[in-house]
């Protein structure tokens, strides 16, 4: 009996260490508790959202490589998406989240032309570290102005006249969500984004990073606590007919365990 108990404890410890090593302890509880909602008597609409960290300068590419990447996207995506139309006659829409710190007018001009022809939208991506509120406001507001006035991107809020945008945080560190504070620096980032015109964040999921939230596989409203990092860890679930709340809507991609592709034949891979 003692040996059985000891083996069970060792197995439990090994499982816990495995979860900790991949930061799965952050979200596995929420993942296992979630139930697929039942929908009966009406159609189910499945929507695909393409959220592209569009970085032509990836891995310090030279200018010619950057141009080739952008040109290929604009040429090949136009050809591919142009073959298809939805019920409203529109081709598939691609969201190009372009990094503020890698701004290159010629690349944005080409993307803007593609989007103006009905193939997608330009949104905002940002990599930053040890930032300040003043610098963050300057960067985001300036980039919004440039995208709207020079490239015809970002719609204006009819009430305020300010450009509105969706956001992806570089290195997944939205609201200073790394324990060591790297790659952000702002505990009030959700508030700042809302004030600057952001309507939703699309950073997640980020597993196995420690920046992953405990909330998974749902859309929610996050309320910022300016004295605490990672305020978007939990929030109010968005519901049909409900009212908006908090500071920012969080729209994550799906996070799941793939039992068909297992490490060592035992451990499911995170997808």
pTM of the full structure: 0.91
In the block, residue with structure tokens 């596989």: 217
Q: Beta strands 51-53 and 220-222: pairing type? A: unpaired
pLDDT of residue 138: 98
The helix/strand/coil state of 206 is: coil
Give me the percent of the chain exceeding a pLDDT of 70: 92
In a domain, 20, yes or no: no
Domain residue limits at 101: 48-270
CA nearest neighbour of 106 among 139, 57, 145, 60: 57
The helix/strand/coil state of 203 is: coil
| Better pLDDT: 40 or 183 | 183
pLDDT of residue 56: 97
Q: Say yes or no to pLDDT of 11 above 60.
A: no
Q: Beta strands 94-99 and 267-270: pairing type? A: unpaired
**Terminal Cα-to-Cα distance of the chain (whole angstroms):** 39
Do 194 and 174 contact (CB within 8 A), yes or no? no
pLDDT of residue 29: 87
Residue 187: pLDDT band with limits 50, 70, 90: very high
Query: Could you tell me how far CA 42 lies from the centroid of its own chain?
Result: 30
In a domain, 5, yes or no: no
Q: Say yes or no to pLDDT of 18 above 70.
A: no
In a domain, 7, yes or no: no
Domain count, the chain: 1
Residue 268 β-bridge partners: 262
CA distance 45 to 47: 6
CA distance 77 to 75: 6
In a domain, 19, yes or no: no
Q: Which of 4-8, 74-78, 157-161 has the highest mean pLDDT?
A: 74-78
pLDDT average, residue stretch 188-205: 98
In a domain, 148, yes or no: yes
In a domain, 15, yes or no: no
Residue 20: pLDDT band with limits 50, 70, 90: low
In the block, residue with structure tokens 């330009």: 122
pLDDT tens for residues 68-100?
999 999 999 999 999 999 888 999 999 999 999
pLDDT tens for residues 236-269?
999 989 999 999 999 999 999 888 887 766 678 8
Mean pLDDT of the chain: 91
In a domain, 37, yes or no: no
Q: Which two three-digit tokens encode residue 270?
A: 């995170």
In a domain, 97, yes or no: yes
Backbone angles phi, psi at 188, to 5 degrees: -110, 30
Residue 126 β-bridge partners: 169
| Better pLDDT: 29 or 134 | 134
């Amino acid at each position: 009996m003692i040996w059985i108990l000891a083996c069970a404890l060792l197995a439990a410890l090994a499982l816990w260490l495995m979860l900790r090593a991949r930061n799965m302890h952050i979200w596995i509880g929420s993942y296992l508790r979630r139930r697929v909602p039942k929908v009966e008597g009406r159609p189910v609409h499945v929507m695909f959202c393409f959220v592209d960290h569009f970085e032509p300068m990836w891995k310090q590419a030279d200018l010619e490589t950057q141009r080739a990447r952008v040109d290929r996207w604009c040429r090949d995506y136009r050809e591919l998406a142009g073959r298809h139309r939805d019920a409203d006659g529109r081709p598939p829409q691609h969201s190009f989240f372009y990094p503020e710190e890698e701004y290159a007018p010629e690349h944005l001009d080409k993307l803007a032309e593609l989007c103006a022809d009905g193939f997608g939208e330009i949104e905002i991506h940002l990599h930053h570290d040890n930032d300040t509120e003043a610098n963050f406001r300057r960067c985001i507001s300036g980039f919004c102005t440039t995208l709207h006035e020079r490239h015809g991107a970002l719609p204006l809020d009819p009430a305020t006249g300010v450009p509105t945008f969706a956001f992806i945080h570089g290195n997944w560190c939205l609201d200073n969500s790394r324990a060591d504070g790297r790659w952000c620096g702002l505990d009030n980032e959700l508030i700042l984004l809302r004030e600057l015109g952001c309507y939703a964040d699309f950073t997640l999921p980020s597993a196995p990073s420690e920046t992953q939230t405990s909330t998974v596989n749902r859309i929610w409203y996050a309320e910022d606590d300016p004295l605490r990092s990672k305020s978007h860890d939990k929030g109010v679930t968005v519901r049909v007919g409900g009212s908006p709340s908090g500071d920012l809507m969080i729209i994550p991609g799906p996070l799941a365990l793939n039992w068909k592709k297992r490490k060592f034949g035992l451990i499911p891979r995170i997808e």
